[in-house]
Structure 1
């Protein structure tokens, strides 16, 4: 494992100063009741419910709607659930989200799908900054975040482009008016160690200036041979109350991941003749000792909020991100033409991606026909610049290798040649959009939500030898929804939106594929039960998407892969519940059924399970109120690779347990056990390769809070 990055002395000084400052802020500070870290996210008049019941942040729906008022499925994963089940990364959170399928195609690269389609709409406090092609490279640690909102289905109004999968919105922790601090130390299987530090509070006597400092470090090995990883996370925020109506918030975040023994691709599941390969050990890894994958992401934002006297609000956000990768990788696959039956490839590449975006929105109530309605208007602009170069090793440039040598880490490190123009990219993507949305209360019980976004996009530059030229102007994505309140507890809803998303893949003629287009429909019922402490919902959905990149082949004349455009239809059912089922009993979970077909009405994308169940539950023992116990269950039906039927995964279930004991108002201890039954399973069949999933493991932690 690489040398640990030491804790930054400057960050330590800031934390110490913050603690001293908050300790002196009020003479009665020591008498304040201990409390968990909370966020200043705007939650409207109903506030942020306790426990697992969530309300989307105002940035998620733009119209500051509750779950009941939103004509789509919404899942909220709150900080309390993250802490209970040690959901430290976005991969952990989306694995625990009903309706979302997580495909860990490699140790350090992940796809997410919902309703049969890739998720590529990602936001930070409502500002869209998409991951390239829906990929997560490295990991996004959630130490700086208070909540994650997932809006199921197409979301053309709130996002830069429509997509029938889902939108994921990261809600940042914010500086607080009250002093608070928390330190959490965790140790677990495979020498995994983690520390989390979170300090927040006022920096002036009046509290008009507030600060928050967050630091986390995670370091450990793995059940996979030769794989180890270290993560360092730092986040600092300042909030200034410029007046009674104006707040300025500045923030910076730095996430760094260094991984050794990473897999590029994973274990081949079939040989060159399509026959299944059986591995005796879940520790198997094709990565070599010289392989590494280092990822460094920095984010910064400035946000100015203004409240008008007539209850209208405006918000201006400017955000930037820099994403860097430095890797040296090894890939292999079954090949019937190779004398050994397998072909290997060594590669070394560097990537730098710069994103800059700005968003301005104005929202508030207005009166029409004697009734009060809600309106939001806004504009968004974003620019992304990417530079990447790939070098291929002479000794492992599509060369015969043996599976045995790869599994034992015997393959030598290659010598790399300089990157050729056909192995580099240098391009810029731009998007501009304006949007408007309104919620009309036609009667006390009937509400209509409608809106549209007009998008323009253009690109220029080269991507691995192919011109990256896209010009789209004035494309309108409409959105419509209706909610009817049957009773104060129950509401029926339906929604419709068109799907549009620019893309940059090439077809066999060397032309960019047409934008993703389609339609998405959803209808369901929602309810607030148990004195409005429990949200339940049931939905049916149907989506169609055209021009989806399908099977790919390498075209030497074009210097890269070319794709066949496909069309897919997706239909299904989603059931979900979150909140308090009984006093002290919190639950968040659901069931999903999805059926996907292609142009020929044949079942497609079989690597996505048709049936899936996800649930988490905790119980505060009434006879021992200092003790909390809980469990998690995830189950999915059988899956297989679309092109290789021999690559298949039977249905399986994973069970987790947790217990926490509050020693006093400051100290607590917790134990988590994952994969209780030590289930052997594969992480993803998407690309005919997969590592085995985590075997039984545990974490133990001690926390102090003020």
Structure 2
């Protein structure tokens, strides 16, 4: 029997979290019951210590501070580089930003990130774009996680992460295959060297409730074994009719110093998302006469029986060996298991212009999915002395396997719908039966890579690298063969940096990425991979007395070898390679401390996207965009912090699929405000008000359907630290 047959993921994530905790009980009980931890807690109650990681660190930890920037990042190359030393556009959303503005999901984080758009097409499936292309790569602690179909199901909770780093442009050196958009890297929280515990409770609009627990510290007298346990659960209704969401997450991690030079870490994350009355597709945006529908913001296209439930389990083990003061080697293995279980309802037409009723043209589906991934990486990193200068090198190899199983059963629709503004979600629920998996594809990719930061001269630095990849795919998805093989696919990386002085640098970079294709040409050969190449010129500087990073970049990204229809041979579609999308634009970013107590992270993006004929395309992506967060803690009252978040974009539009004309979304700005107050060393209260101007806006125009974003809403939080 299929693993999805007659299965619906449980409806209580908090209870599920308790039951799932069996796999993490050792870690949690040791943390909570360690005599060393309890003794040290009594000595340091109320003091949140900055984390110090003795083994190889991806970059500096941000939790425990108000900082809106990081001093180092390795997402682009695995080299430990400052923002000025990285010859690409990089942005980081730190733990302080996440907590200040309640950025509890990946969607919230990326809506705060310069140069990224979040396409909320449905309530439980999201796409992300950058520089005119869909983002197709995620990473966790620098290990790539391929994204089938370039989307995320459900919400990824941020409770377990210290920060999220985003590198824009082609990122093939560390990502392997994908689109020349960006890579999003989640950096997990790790055990702390000193004891720490916190509990945060939140209450908000639409009966939103959330509770989060975080406990960390040493588990033995010497501090050679450390652990951390993070748990969060939330439950709430929505501004959308009938929509109800529940989410639970549990994360446990342990680190052990096996010797003075060897560290072992292992961890596991479990997350469950349960959504009732979710939308598959969304609202029709125009009627049969082509008039905009302009529904109320609460209107939903979901019946009361639809749901989308998902469960994700992610495990990792890593071993770090310090070879010398300058060199270390690190091996990591991760495993992902994701299960989705849904019943869905899709409106396949538009309402009648006179009556508002929607004729019987609906898709009723039971969609199930099982995604399993293995990823392994082994690399060495260190310094080399040559020609009287010090250079940093990394060499490594990685391997991944992703198996994606899907099933969609369809049932016949039985009735028309009344006008959606008046509909209560009542619609006959069909009997779908149990699915059979006929869509089953596996992709294996292995690579060798290397990169170096080369100190060329007093003011000149080069960052260069290359990746050699081998890819094999087998299986079918919805009647389309996925069989393809790539050998010796070379992906270069090159950047040159010139230090104008001690505070500013000019840089130029060229990066690539590739994406395999399953289309065949007239000779029966698979087309070469789509090639994405990014060119970037920029200026980076340390500003505000070194407290902040500023950057200005101009960029261009080209696609080549994109499949284009070339007729038929013996009834078989054939294709030829052609130029694809070209994007170019400008970005300006600023992140850090602008004055004592004043933190800010802001970015402006200008973008042009054209097809091979030079015509504007992907017009659902804004051409002008501003993202900004800021907070201020006055010296005269340092218990108080106030802040604001701004998200602005210009007009967007799309050609209608089933009628003449275009659907447009006017420019809009969303303003969020926050304030927090430390009542004492242990207790902090905060208040967030989002969309304070109550702006009405569509969340995306990527598809011919859409829905409206949340109206003004409020969240109150209380955090206890020990």
TM-score > 0.5 by shorter chain: yes
Cα distance in 1 between the residues matched to 2:352 and 2:533: 43
Q: Could you say which residue in structure 1 is the equivalent of 2:345? A: 330
Aligned equivalents of 2:204, 2:56: Cα separation in 1? 36
Q: Is the 8 A contact 1:210 1:239 kept in 2?
A: yes
Partner of 2:251: helix, strand, or coil? Answer: strand
Question: Partners in 1 of 2:293 and 2:664 — Cα distance?
Answer: 11
What corresponds to 1:520 in structure 2? Answer: 534
- Counterpart of 2:544 in structure 1 is 530
Match of 1:624 among 611, 615, 637: 637
- Contact kept? 1:342, 1:403, Cα under 8 Å: no
Q: Does 1:612 align with 2:638?
A: no
CA–CA distance in structure 1, aligned partners of residues 150 and 371 of structure 2: 15
What are the residue-to-residue correspondences of 1:173-252 with 2, within 5 Å? 173-252=189-268
Partners of 1:27 and 1:262 lie apart in 2 by: 47
SS in 1 for 2:293: coil
Work out whether residues 60 and 149 of structure 1, in 8 Å CA contact, stay in contact via their aligned partners in 2: no
- Describe the shift of the 1:46–1:490 C-alpha distance in structure 2 as closer, same or farther (beyond 3 A): farther
Conserved? CA contact 2:235–2:247, under 8 Å = yes
Partner of 1:160: 176
Report if aligned partners of 2:30, 2:219 keep a CA contact under 8 Å in 1: no
Check whether the contact 1:43–1:57 (CA below 8 A) recurs between aligned residues: no
The answer to whether the 8 Å contact 1:657/1:674 transfers is yes
* Closer, same or farther: CA 694–27 of 1 in aligned 2, 3 Å: closer
The structure 2 residue matched to 1:458, chosen from 455, 472, 476, is 472
Which of 662, 673, 680 pairs up with 1:664?
A: 680
Distance (Å, rounded) in 1 between the aligned partners of 2:418 and 2:521: 34
Shift of 1:566: 6.7
Distance 1:47 1:3 in 2: 33
Q: Distance in 1 between matches of 2:60 and 2:424?
A: 58
Is the 1:456–1:474 contact (alpha carbons within 8 Å) kept by the matching residues of 2?
Answer: yes
Whether the aligned pair in 2 keeps the contact of 1:306 and 1:313 (CA below 8 Å) is yes
Among 570, 589, 598, the alignment partner of 1:585 is 598
- Residue equivalent to 1:546: 560
**1:21 and 2:34 matched:** yes
**8 Å contact from structure 2 (residues 507, 537) kept in 1:** yes
Distance 2:483 2:68 in 1: 46
Aligned mates of 1:232, 1:96 — CA distance in 2: 23
Shift of residue 650, structure 1, vs aligned partner = 0.2
Moved more, 510-519 or 127-136: 510-519
Answer yes or no: is the 8 Å Cα contact 1:431–1:456 preserved in 2: yes
Q: 1:325 to 1:412 in 2, by over 3 A?
A: same
3-state SS in 1 of match to 2:158: coil
Instruction: Give me the whole-angstrom Cα distance separating, in 1, the residues matched to 2:684 and 2:419.
Output: 48
CA–CA distance in structure 1, aligned partners of residues 320 and 57 of structure 2: 15
**Gaps (5+ residues) in structure 1?**
552-556
CA contact (8 A) 1:162 1:498 kept: no
Aligned position for 2:407: 389
Residue 277 of structure 1 is matched in structure 2 by 292
Q: CA deviation at 1:498?
A: 2.5
For residue 30 of structure 1, report the CA deviation from its aligned partner: 2.3
Q: CA deviation at 1:508?
A: 12
> Partners in 2 of 1:505 and 1:34 — Cα distance?
59
1:263-284 CA-to-partner distances (Å, cap 9, x unmatched) read 10011113456x1432341000
**How far apart, CA to CA, are the structure 1 residues paired with 2:709 and 2:380?**
46
1:477 maps to which of 480, 491, 497: 491
Q: Where does 1:24-423 land on structure 2 (aligned, <5 Å)?
A: 24=37, 26=39, 29-31=42-44, 34-35=47-48, 38=51, 40=53, 51-58=67-74, 61-161=77-177, 163-271=179-287, 275-334=290-349, 341=359, 343-395=361-413, 401=417, 403-404=419-420, 407-416=423-432, 419=435
Kept in 2, the 8 Å contact 1:182–1:197? The answer is yes
8 Å CA contact 1:60–1:169 kept in 2: the answer is no
Offset at 1:642?
A: 3.9
Q: Secondary structure at the match of 2:348?
A: strand
1:493 aligns with 2:507: yes
Distance 1:579 1:57 in 2: 15
371 and 470 in structure 1: CA distance in 2 versus 1, 3 angstrom threshold? same
Partner Cα separation in structure 1 for residue 436 and residue 543 of structure 2:
62
CA contact (8 A) 1:39 1:146 kept: no
Alignment deviations for residues 128-182 of structure 1 (CA, whole Å, 9 cap, x no partner): 1122122011111011110111011111212222532111111000011111011
3-state DSSP class of the match of 1:81?
helix
* Residues in 1 aligned to 2:463 and 2:249: alpha-carbon distance in whole angstroms: 39
Q: Give the CA deviation at 1:31.
A: 3.9
Contact 2:27 2:253 in 1 (8 A): no
| CA RMSD after TM alignment | 2.9
- SS of the equivalent of 1:525 reads strand
1: CA distance between counterparts of 2:78 and 2:359? Answer: 55
**Relative to 1, partners in 2 of residues 1:60 and 1:462: Cα closer, same or farther, differing over 3 Å?**
same
Distance 1:702 1:368, change over 3 A: same
Q: 1:218 to 1:202 in 2, by over 3 A?
A: same
Q: How has the CA–CA distance of structure 1 residues 504 and 23 changed in structure 2, closer, same or farther, with 3 Å as cutoff?
A: farther
Tell whether the 8 Å contact from 1:276 to 1:646 is kept in structure 2 after alignment: no
Secondary structure of 2:121 counterpart: strand
Do the aligned residues in 1 keep the contact of 2:51 with 2:61 (CA within 8 Å)?
A: no
Higher alpha-carbon deviation: 1-10 or 64-73: 1-10
Tell me by how many angstroms 1:532 deviates.
Answer: 1.3
Once the two structures are overlaid, the 10-residue window that deviates more, 12-21 or 528-537, is 12-21
Output one character per residue of 1:24-56: Cα deviation in whole Å (capped at 9) or x when no partner.
564684246611674748568988686112134
Q: Is the 8 A contact 2:399 2:447 kept in 1?
A: yes
- When residues 39 and 636 of structure 1 are mapped into structure 2, their CA distance, relative to the original with a 3 A threshold, is farther
1:183 and 1:549 map into 2 onto residues whose CA distance is 52
Structure 2 residue aligned with 1:601:
614
Distance 1:568 1:34, change over 3 A: same
The answer on whether the counterparts of 2:59 and 2:80 sit within 8 Å (CA) in structure 1 is no
Matching residue of 1:429: 443
Cα deviation for residue 457 of structure 1 reads: 0.6
Corresponding residue pairs, total: 694
What's the TM-score, normalizing by structure 1?
0.92
State the Cα distance separating 1:463 from its structure 2 match. Answer: 1.5
Cα offsets for 1:533-561 (capped at 9, x unmatched): 1100000000011355899xxxxx99x9x
More off after superposition, 603-612 vs 307-316 = 307-316
What's 2:650 paired with? 637
1:569 aligns with 2:585: no
Q: Distance in 2 between matches of 1:198 and 1:418?
A: 40
Return the alpha-carbon distance in structure 2 between the equivalents of residues 101 and 666 of structure 1: 37
SS at match of 1:395: coil
Partners in 2 of 1:451 and 1:265 — Cα distance? 42
State the shift of 1:408 in Å.
3.0
State the distance in 2 between where 1:94 and 1:173 align.
19
Cα pair distance change 1:308/1:368, threshold 3 Å: same
Report if the CA contact (8 A) 2:548-2:593 is conserved. yes
1:8 to 14, 18, 29: 18
Q: Is the 8 A contact 1:38 1:146 kept in 2?
A: no
CA–CA distance in structure 1, aligned partners of residues 524 and 244 of structure 2: 40
